[in-house]
């Protein structure tokens, strides 16, 4: 699939007024269950279903190939915000969007793609897949920061937003576009979210350290 056709999913946490950050960090306390959800979802590759009980030789050959892996697409500041011991994010292909040269970034390993734009990064990943230097692509997740989110939202291939809606306001200096006020985006039912992420979602949301939040799925109309 050409990079310009690869569906993108954006994953973000935001307050009711769409605040997402303050001074380059999250404005709310660390939410361990929310972070665990992010890790599970961005690692989980959708499993293709076969309609035949007797798979063909082509299907068997396909199943014998190395398993696909999801990609996480982030800006340089988001990359730098990840503690060095967790970089690159495990079990995912990391794509870093930066105007800086590869050798100027800290902690970049050989399997990390560094590029100047989202589409160029996907093109470089596709070339690595074709040459056998990277596993096939599962899903592509855009994980921040604000400038990368803004760029991704302008792409026609941006199809889904996984939004963690934090229930209360915090002081923020960085904001995400208002999905509620957009005619292009529709909030889906909990069952659709569960089918998309591949796990059960607790009805009514969760609470950690006094912070209430809810997982949501938004789809482009």
At residue 59, what are phi and psi to the nearest 5 degrees?
-65, -40
Listed in sequence order, the residues at least 6 apart from 38 whose beta carbon sits closer than 8 Å to its beta carbon are 11, 143
Query: Residue 160 to residues 67, 152, 153, 166: CA-CA distances in angstroms?
Result: 23, 11, 10, 18
Rounded distance between C-alpha atoms, residue 35 and residue 18, angstroms: 18
Query: What residues have CB less than 8 Å from 2, skipping those under 6 apart?
Result: 126
What's the gap between Cα 161 and its chain centre? 9
Are 27 and 159 in contact by the 8 Å Cβ rule? The answer is no
Element (H, E) at 218: strand 211-220
Calpha distance 93→63 (Å, rounded): 20
Facing residues of 208 across strands? 211
Is there a contact between 16 and 216 (Cβ–Cβ < 8 Å)?
A: no
Q: Catalytic: which of 26, 125, 193, 217? A: 26
- Cα 56 from Cα 219, distance rounded (Å): 34
206: annotated active-site residue: no
207 is catalytic: no
State the catalytic residue, choosing from 34, 125, 163, 217. Answer: 34
Structure tokens at 212: 């209430």
Enzyme catalytic residues: 26, 34
């Amino acid at each position: 699939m050409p990079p310009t056709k690869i569906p993108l999913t954006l994953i973000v946490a935001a307050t009711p007024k769409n605040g997402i950050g303050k001074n380059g960090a999250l404005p709310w306390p660390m939410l361990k269950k929310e972070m665990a959800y992010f890790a599970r979802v961005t690692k989980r590759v959708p499993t293709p279903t076969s309609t035949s009980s007797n798979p063909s030789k082509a299907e068997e050959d396909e199943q014998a190939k190395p398993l696909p892996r999801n990609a996480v697409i982030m800006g340089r500041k988001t990359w730098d915000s990840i503690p060095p011991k967790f970089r690159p994010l495990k079990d995912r292909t990391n794509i870093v969007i930066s105007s800086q040269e590869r050798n100027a970034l800290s902690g970049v390993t050989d399997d990390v793609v560094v590029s100047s734009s989202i589409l160029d990064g996907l093109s470089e990943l596709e070339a690595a897949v074709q040459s056998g230097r990277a596993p096939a692509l599962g899903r592509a997740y855009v994980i921040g920061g604000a400038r990368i989110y803004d760029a991704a939202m302008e792409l026609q291939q941006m199809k889904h937003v996984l939004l963690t809606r934090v229930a209360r306001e915090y002081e923020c200096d960085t904001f995400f576009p208002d999905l509620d006020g957009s005619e292009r985006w529709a909030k889906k039912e909990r069952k659709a979210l569960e089918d998309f992420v591949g796990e059960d979602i607790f009805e009514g949301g969760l609470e950690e350290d006094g912070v209430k939040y809810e997982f949501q799925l938004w789809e482009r109309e």
